[in-house]
Structure 1
Amino acid sequence: MVDISLLGCGGGMPMPNRFLSSTIINYKGRKILIDCGEGTQVAMRFIGSGFKSIDVICITHGHGDHVVGLPGLLATIGNSGRVDPITIIGPKGIEDIVKGLRVIAPYLPYDINIIENPNIPLNIIEDLVVSTLELDHSSPCIGYSFYFKRKPKFDVDKANTNNVPRIFWSTLQKGERVIEKGITYEPSMVLGSERQGIKISLITDTRPLDTIPDFIKESDLFICEGTYGDEEDLDKAVKNKHMTFSEAAQLALKGNVDELLLTHFSPAMSEPELFKQNATNIFEKTIIGHDMFVKSLAFRD
């Protein structure tokens, strides 16, 4: 089971009923935070997510509505008793951005490992592969794909057929090889076929790109910016390098995703639901996000 919570759905500036961009993913008690706008800590208090178990912070880009909450959050994590390192991933320049923000949070009881503009998939948490894609915004910006792998089922018949001693079953099931008295036992000797995992993609602060549909392909959930709901705001979207609801829906359709979750709404759009049809006319399974929206995704049999 993977749990996703939208902590803040706003873009540009915080509103009385809307915090700025932040999303948290919870998997087996470990957490991945994507962006950290104003209000992130308050929203985390509302949903009761806790701070100590955040292992990875993924930043899409360095604009204030996505990073201003970071120094306070890092300090709070330190106060929670965290001593294990935290990894921060971000676009080109993220190391300088974090360094600048930490002027007001200089002393932390844990190390921070920064990965800048990775060009290969990353395995930071067990069973999780994080991939990135360069986007088209007014500052260096990257999108994220999170693939949660599912271990194959243990196959008792296969283990017995391969004469694998029962004492090694647990170790092999974990994917570890065993060598005993010159005999090598491989995990494949006790495990069944590969099973489908869960894919979550997040794209925000960009114009539509031809590379996005393949990057988000067959996501169980595609979280995408919907800065402008009204089609009459297309010129603003082009000028500011953002997207409309319909453009996000087109990407969802081309990427053959299961569901589209819209977020990052302009401060001028007080009621995003009024424009929902502009997305659902193109991609029916569209959800209009809101602060503290929570969704759980289960592995499929």
Structure 2
Amino acid sequence: MVDLALLGCGGGMPIPERYLSSLLISYKGRKILMDCGEGTQVSMKILGWGFKTIDVICITHGHADHIMGLPGLLLTIGNSGRTDPITIIGPIGITDIVKGLRVVAPYLPYEINIVENPQEPVRIKASLNDTETSAGEFNDLIISTLELEHSTNCLGYSLYFNRKPKFDVKSAIKNDIPKEFWNRLQKNEIIIDHGKTYFPKLVLGAKRVGIKISFITDTRSLSKIKTFIKGSDLFVCEGTYGDENDIEKAIRNKHMTFSEAAELALGGEVKELLLTHFSPSMLMPLEYKDRAEIIFINTIIGSDRFIHTLSFKD
């Protein structure tokens, strides 16, 4: 089960009842934060989900409405007693951006590992002590990125939560696997004993489908996004403009309308679309929901601290 909370659904500038871009994802007691605009900490405090267990922070780009909440958050995480490293993933230039923001947060009791514009998926275990920041053979979470079209370097994200196959007792017995190895093989360990090699597949059942969440914001609509988000259980997408008459603004500012986001959701064959990143001039996004629903029926209009749960399917 994966829980998520839309901490802030605004773009450009915060307004009453709407903080700036941020999404918090909770899985197995650990957390991943997507963007960190102004108001992120306030929403987290209201929710009471805690700060200490944020292991990964994914930043789409360096504009203030997506990152200015970061230095304060890093300090709060430090004050929570955390000493384990945190991984920050971002586009080209994220290293310099974080370095600049840390002028006001220079002393932290934990290390920050920065992954800039990764060309391969970043694989991260859910267990805090097993967190890795580079590609490799890990179990739980795979983070993929896509370069988008905005006025600065910008990344889209896809998070895939792997689900381990069930332990198959019949297969273990059939393959004459000693019981003392069952637990280790179930944990994906390869065992060599007395010249004989035991592989995890000898005790595991069929592969099970995981959960995919895609996060796309601050970009024009691109055909490659449909491929990137393909089959997502939840597609979180910017809907800066609800009114189709604002299409020229969307093109000029490199953003999207509700209908453009819905077209991507339809083409990407996702299960649900969650719209966010609303222009401060759009006070009532719900008034434009039909612009998306007429194209993609399973559309949700986001709001600050909207909570959603995704469950694994057998």
TM range (shorter): over 0.9
In the TM superposition, what are the counterparts of 1:54-93 in structure 2 within 5 Å?
54-93=54-93
Of 198, 204, 208, the residue aligned with 1:195 is 208
Q: Report the Cα distance in structure 1 between the residues aligned to 2:202 and 2:62, rounded to whole angstroms.
A: 48
Q: Deviations over 1:37-69 (max 9, x none)?
A: 000001001111111110000000000000000
- Provide the aligned length of Structure 1 versus Structure 2: 301
Which of 226, 229, 238 lines up with 1:225 in the alignment?
A: 238
Residue from 255, 259, 266 that aligns with 2:272: 259
Q: How far is the alpha carbon of 1:171 from its aligned partner? A: 0.9
Taking the TM superposition and a 5 Å limit, the aligned residue runs for 1:100-249 are 100-126=100-126, 127-249=140-262
Q: Which residue of 2 aligns with 1:47?
A: 47
Work out the CA distance in 1 between the residues paired with 2:270 and 2:90.
24
Moved over 4 A (4+): none
Match of 2:284 in 1: 271
Deviation string 1:211-263 (CA, Å, 9 cap, x unpaired) is 10000000000000000000011110001000000000000000000000000
Gap runs ≥5 in structure 2: 127-139
Q: TM-score, normalised by structure 1?
A: 0.99
2:134: which partner in 1?
none
Supply the distance in 1 between the matched residues of 2:46 and 2:268 (Cα, whole angstroms). 33
For 1:34 and 1:280, the matched residues in 2 are separated by: 25
User: d(CA) in 1 for partners of 2:201 and 2:248?
Assistant: 55
Query: TM-score when scaled to structure 2?
Result: 0.95
Where structure 1 has 5 or more consecutive residues not aligned to the other structure, the ranges are: none
Query: What is the rounded CA distance, in whole Å, between the counterparts of 1:36 and 1:169 in structure 2?
Result: 43
> Could you give the per-residue CA deviations for residues 89-145 of structure 1, whole angstroms, max 9, x where no partner exists?
000000010001000000001000001111111112341000000000001000000
Partner Cα separation in structure 2 for residue 298 and residue 119 of structure 1: 29
> Share of identical aligned residues, percent?
68
Counterpart for residue 37 of structure 2: 37
Secondary structure of the 2:241 match is: coil
- Determine the C-alpha separation between the residues in 2 that align with 1:249 and 1:67: 26
